[in-house]
Homo-oligomer: A and B are copies of this chain.
Amino acid sequence: MSDENAILAPNVAFYHAFASGDYDAMDAVWARRHPVACLHPGWGPVAGRDEVMKTWRAILANPGGTPVECIAPQVFPLGETAFVVCHEQLPQGTLIATNLFALEDGVWRMVHHQAGPGPAVSPARGKPVQAPGTRTLQ
Contact = CB atoms under 8 A, between A and B. Distances in A.
Contacts of A2: none
Interface in A79-108: 79-81, 83, 85, 90, 92, 95-96, 98, 100, 102
A40 interface: yes
B59 A134 contact: yes
B133 A96 contact: no
A121 B45 CA distance: 11
A42 B138 contact: yes
A42 B119 contact: yes
B102 A78 contact: yes
Contact of A85 (B45, B55, B115): B45
A41 B117 CA distance: 8
Interface string A102-138: 1000000001101111110100000110101111101
A132 B43 CA distance: 5
A37 B116 CA distance: 16
A59 B135 CA distance: 6
A126 B58 CA distance: 25
Interface of A: 34-37, 39-45, 47, 55, 58-59, 62, 66, 74, 76-81, 83, 85, 90, 92, 95-96, 98, 100, 102, 111-112, 114-119, 121, 127-128, 130, 132-136, 138
